[in-house]
Amino acid sequence: MNESRTLTQGKVWAPGRVNLIGDHTDYTGGLVLPMAIDLGTTITWQLTNTPSRFSSDVDDVVVALYDEPQSSHWGRYVHAVAQLLEQRRHKSPQILATISSTLPIGSGLSSSASLEVAIALSLGAHAGTRDEIIALAQLCQQAEHAATGVPCGIMDQLIVLAGQSKHALLIDCSTLEMTPVRIPADVKIVVQFIAPRTLAGSAYADRVAQCARAQEIIGPLRSANTTDLEAIDDPTVKKYALHVITENERVQEFCSAMTDCDFAQAGLIMVDSHNSLRDNFAVSTDQMNAAVLEARAIPGVYGARMTGGGFGGCIVALADPDAKIDGLIVEASNGARLLE
């Protein structure tokens, strides 16, 4: 990404994401396979002599960067990102910025990570090298924690920055190694919106805490196996850990199946993942379970699962291009960038 500050105006774009498999694994250093999508957040900006201000096309609110951070919901992200950039001694330019988005808000497609990254780029943050991408993803992850109190992992912010056209990214959240996995042209990825959700105030933070408890007993879940679970007495913690250990395995198996173009196998692994999120990790909903069942019954649909944090949001399906499944067909997109 090039330096933009010699310009007096510009435009940045940051995608949303859909996670193909590997949910509730990132915050224990596990494996995930998200894909940046062709819906996202655009911010247009121009330099100004007055302190920076952001407005959005969703409401009439104008957020000045250094006002009290009460403002609108989206305004909290502006404040959080700007403050963290400042703490890193990044000197933000003074801009008048307008935010618009093609992502449904609160639908589990990472509208907030997309917004955080777009804000950071509009304020002149760099994300060219791998190290810059990782550092900016971590800053935006912290902004999410600060703005919402949700102790999310790194997956969403990293894929928003590092996404690759025609590929999902296998991310090892221990090392932050990223390996592109090609999405073959003879399948389609379909997203179905089920219900609005927010992870703030949900049981997300509880799952993070319970996984941390499991790790206190048996060490990193990333390197644990199911035999290690015998050391965990609490049946709930044991089930959560079971999900994480087996989900890490499923991510690897899914990547192999996609590389071999074995879509039937990939679909079965998606369904196993959904069932584990439903039965072991208890983050699915009746509506999502019903939608997954319905999708799977459609000829040409290889598999489907809930995607993201759960408690609502979306399901994702892997299907033959001719399958008659409702929903949004998403294309794998490049990560965030300066448009002009």
Residues designated as active site? 156
Angle between helix 155-162 and 130-148 (nearest 10):
140
Residue type, 324: K
Q: Which stretch binds ligand GLA (CB under 6 A): 123-131, 148-156, 183-191, 292-300?
A: 148-156
To which residue do tokens 């449904």 refer?
Answer: 104
Residue 251 in the binding site for ligand GLA (CB under 6 A): no
Q: Which stretch binds ligand GLA (CB under 6 A): 16-24, 63-71, 209-217, 321-329?
A: 16-24
- Considering only 1, 99, 133, 152, the residue that binds ligand GLA (CB under 6 A) is 152
Q: How far is the CB of 26 from ligand GLA (least distance, A)?
A: 5
Q: Which lies closer to ligand GLA via its Cβ, residue 152 or residue 316?
A: 152
Q: Which stretch binds ligand GLA (CB under 6 A): 150-158, 179-187, 261-269, 328-336?
A: 150-158
* Radius of gyration, CA atoms only, the chain: 20
Instruction: Kindly report the length of the chain.
Output: 340
Both tokens of 326, joined, read 């409702």
Residue 24 in the binding site for ligand GLA (CB under 6 A): yes
Residue 27 in the binding site for ligand GLA (CB under 6 A): yes
Residue 26 in the binding site for ligand GLA (CB under 6 A): yes
- The answer to whether the beta carbons of residues 90 and 125 sit under 8 Å apart is yes
- The answer to whether the beta carbons of residues 149 and 200 sit under 8 Å apart is yes
- Considering only 55, 156, 295, 306, the residue that binds ligand GLA (CB under 6 A) is 156
Residue 153 in the binding site for ligand GLA (CB under 6 A): yes
Residue 23 in the binding site for ligand GLA (CB under 6 A): yes
Cα–chain center distance at 150: 13
Q: Find the binding residues for ligand GLA in span 294-313 (CB under 6 A).
A: 308-309
What DSSP element (H or E) covers 188? strand 188-195
Q: How far apart are CA 328 and CA 54, in angstroms?
A: 30
Q: How far apart are CA 222 and CA 25, in angstroms?
A: 8
Which stretches of the chain bind ligand GLA, using CB under 6 A?
Answer: 19, 23-24, 26-27, 152-153, 155-156, 308-309
